[in-house]
Amino acid sequence: MQKVSVLFFLAWVCFLFYAGIALFTSGFLLTRLELTNHSSCQEPPGPGPLPWGGRGKPGACWMASRFSRVVLVLIDALRFDFAQPQSSYTSGKPSVSLPFLGKLGTLKRLLEIQPHHARLYRSQVDPPTTTMQRLKALTTGSLPTFIDAGSNFATHAIVEDNLIKQLTSAGKRVVFMGDDTWRDLFPGAFSQAFFFPSFNVKDLHTVDNGILEHLYPTMDSDEWDVLIAHFLGVDHCGHKHGPHHPEMAKKLSQMDQVIQSLVEHLENDTLLVVTGDHGMTMNGDHGGESDLEVSAALFLYSPTVLFPSTLPEEPEAIPQVSLVPTLALLLGVPIPFGNIGEVITELFSGNNNSQPHSSALAQASALHLNAQQVSRFLHTYSSTTQDLQFKELERLQSLFSKASADYLRLQQSSQGTEASTKAVIADLQQFLRGARAMCIKSWAQFSLVRMAGGATILTAACFLCLLASQWTTSPGFSFCPLLLISLIWGLVGSIVCVGLLAITGLKLDPVILGAVVAVGSLLPFLWKASTGWGARRPLAGLLPIPLPVLLLLLLRWAAFFSDSFVIAEARAIPFLLGSLVLILIAQPHWEGQLVPPKLLAIPRVGPLTPAGLPRHNGMHALGLGIGLLLCTRLAGLFHRCPEETPACQSSPWLNPLSSVVGGRAKNLWYGACVGALVALLAAVRLWLRRYGNLKSPAPPVLFVRWGLPLMALGTAAYWALASGADEAPPRLRALVAGASVVLPRAVAGLAASGLMLLLWRPVTVLVKAGTGAPRARTVFTPFSGPPTSQADLDYVVPQIYRHMQEVFRGQLERTHHQGLLTVAAYHLGSVYSAAMVTALTLLAFPLLLLHAERISLVFLLLFLQSFLLLQLLAAGIPVTTPGPFSVPWKAVSAWALMATQTFYSTGHQPVFPAIHWHAAFVGFPEGHGSSFWLPALLVGANTFASHLLFAVGCPLLLLWPFLCESQGPRKKRQTPGNETEAKVRPEEEEEEPLMEMRLRDAPHHFSAALLQLGLKYLFVLGVQILACALAASILRRHLMVWKVFAPKFIFEALGFIVSSVGLLLGIALVMRVDGAVSSWFKQLVLAQQR
Instruction: Report pLDDT digits (tens) over 131-146.
Output: 778 888 899 998 876 5
Percent of the chain residues past pLDDT 90, beyond the cut: 38
Closest CA to 19 of 411, 608, 453: 453
Instruction: Report pLDDT digits (tens) over 404-439.
Output: 998 888 877 766 677 888 899 999 999 999 999 888
CB 808 within 8 A of CB 772: no
Q: What is the mean pLDDT of residues 7-34?
A: 88
Q: Which helix (H) or strand (E) holds 1027?
A: helix 1003-1034
Q: Is the confidence at residue 782, as pLDDT, over 90? A: no
Provide the pLDDT for residue 290: 80
161 vs 173, 336, 337, 901, 946, CA distance in Å?
18, 5, 6, 46, 44
Identify the residue with better confidence: 852 or 787: 852
Identify the residue with better confidence: 56 or 1024: 1024
Bridge partners of 75? 231
Q: Is the confidence at residue 962, as pLDDT, over 80? A: yes
Provide the pLDDT for residue 428: 93
Question: Edge-to-edge strand order for the sheet containing 317-319?
Answer: 192-196, 174-179, 226-231, 69-75, 270-275, 295-301, 118-124, 317-319
Q: Is the confidence at residue 3, as pLDDT, over 80? A: no
807-821, 884-898, 927-941: segment of lowest average pLDDT: 807-821
Cα-atom radius of gyration of the chain, to the nearest Å? 35
Q: Is the confidence at residue 993, as pLDDT, over 90? A: no
Provide the pLDDT for residue 28: 85
Percent of the chain residues past pLDDT 70, beyond the cut: 80
3-state helix, strand and coil shares in percent for the chain, rounded to the nearest 5: 60, 5, 35
CA atoms within 13 A on the CB side of 35: 21
Q: What is the mean pLDDT of residues 610-637?
A: 74
Distance between first and last Cα of the chain: 32
314-318, 603-607, 640-644, 746-750: segment of lowest average pLDDT: 603-607
Provide the pLDDT for residue 225: 94
- Spell out the alpha helix ranges (H) of 266-389: 323-330, 356-384
Instruction: Report pLDDT digits (tens) over 229-269.
Output: 999 999 989 888 888 888 899 999 999 999 999 999 898 88
Q: How confident is the model at residue 883 (pLDDT cuts 50, 70, 90)?
A: low
Q: Residue type for 978, please?
A: N
Q: What is the mean pLDDT of residues 864-885?
A: 78
> What is the pTM (predicted TM-score) of this model?
0.75
Alpha-carbon torsion 787, 789, 793, 796, what sign? negative
Which range of 519-528, 531-540, 815-824 scores highest in mean pLDDT? It is 519-528
Instruction: Report pLDDT digits (tens) over 179-206.
Output: 888 988 898 899 999 998 877 777 788 8
Provide the pLDDT for residue 839: 95
Q: Is the confidence at residue 332, as pLDDT, over 80? A: yes
Q: Is the confidence at residue 62, as pLDDT, over 50? A: yes
Identify the residue with better confidence: 1048 or 597: 1048
Q: How confident is the model at residue 1085 (pLDDT cuts 50, 70, 90)?
A: low
Which range of 122-136, 521-535, 564-578, 587-601 scores highest in mean pLDDT? It is 564-578
Q: How confident is the model at residue 976 (pLDDT cuts 50, 70, 90)?
A: very low
Q: How confident is the model at residue 358 (pLDDT cuts 50, 70, 90)?
A: confident
Identify the residue with better confidence: 407 or 643: 407
| Structure-derived torsion over alpha carbons of residues 747, 753, 757, 758, reported in degrees to the nearest 10 | 50
Provide the pLDDT for residue 767: 60
Provide the pLDDT for residue 192: 93
